[in-house]
Amino acid sequence: MLSKRIIPCLDIKAGRVVKGIKFLGLRDAGDPVTVAKAYDAQGADELVFLDITASVENRKTLVALVEKIAANIFMPFTVGGGISEIGDIRNILNAGAEKVSLNTQAVKFPELISSASKRFGSQCIVVAIDAKKQGDYWEVFINGGRTPTGIDAVIWAEKAARLGAGEILLTSMDFDGTKDGYDLKLTREISSKVNIPVIASGGAGKLEDFYNVFTQAGADAALAASLFHYGKLSVKQVKEHLKQRGVAVRL
């Protein structure tokens, strides 16, 4: 049976992990390879690296970093942040990433999804959606959550899937950072409308939250950042909890 996935997310700036990483007594908490290895040891199913600088000059650093990670960690990982061209996608995939994640550029130029999935296959094209509740719908925000678009997130997810996206990485801006649990309504709405896997993101704070997003909202994977980084919960604890309650996980 296909396992539900637990995915730690790391923010990268100029080839280094940013935001505090305070778990497992890492000697160099800024080195992505060291952090990735620690999550590997905890049994993480995948990793997501988000490059938050995303300048042209930085692309080379990012590709070199991807190569370094792939040389040390034999698990799947996704790379996102400022990816705008087919050439970027090719370089990142060739360097050893399993998938790339598109966000702002996919909203601005949806044909990037179709051309990338045609060239590299749907299975490696993730579309990341940052959504925020506005009245009776969820609005898509771009540029790291700074710019509203007026686009309905559910309709956008359906369109992205139709264009060839292989996965949706769905972040609730309302729940992100609250530790109150994932946005079950948003996740359920999108997961039921698209026939591609959905990664829920934003709001994880306790074991129960993971159980709920898998059993009540149809998520295929759950992503968390600070919860894992600060060692409040380990990936292993989350998976053991899920297994105990009958959710299929890889342990």
Partner 1 sequence: MKIAIIDYGMGNIHSVSKAIELCGAKPLVTGKKAQLDSCEKVVLPGVGAFDDAMAELEKLGLVSAVKKQVESGKPFLGICLGMQLLFESSQEAKSKAGLGFLKGQVVKFSASLGQKIPHMGWNNLEYISGSCALLKGIKANEQVYFCHSYYPEASDKNIVAATCDYGLEFACAVAKDNIYGVQFHPEKSQSVGLKIIRNFVESC
Q: Is 120 near partner 1 (CB under 8 A)?
A: yes
User: Mask: binding to partner 1, 126-165, rule CB under 8 A, as x and -?
Assistant: ----------------------------------------
Q: Is 196 near partner 1 (CB under 8 A)?
A: yes
Rounded Cα distance, 247 and 212, in Å = 10
Residue 11 among the catalytic residues: yes
Tokens of 217: 């909202």
- Give how far Cα 188 sits from Cα of 52, 93, 228, Å: 28, 30, 24
Per annotation, catalytic residue among 45, 51, 88, 130:
130
* Nearest residue (CB) to partner 1, 120 versus 211: 120
User: Mask: binding to partner 1, 13-32, rule CB under 8 A, as x and -?
Assistant: --------------------
Q: Is 71 near partner 1 (CB under 8 A)?
A: yes
Q: Do 53 and 14 contact (CB within 8 A), yes or no?
A: yes
Residue 51 among the catalytic residues: no
How many of the other CB atoms lie within 10 Å of CB of 83?
25
How would DSSP label each residue in 92-156? HHHTT-SEEEE-HHHHH-THHHHHHHHHH-GGGEEEEEEEEEETTEEEEEETTTTEEEEEEHHHH
Name the site residues for partner 1 (rule: CB under 8 A): 1-5, 40, 45-46, 67, 70-72, 74-76, 90, 93-96, 98-99, 118-124, 166-167, 195-197, 220-221, 250
- Residues forming the active site: 11, 130
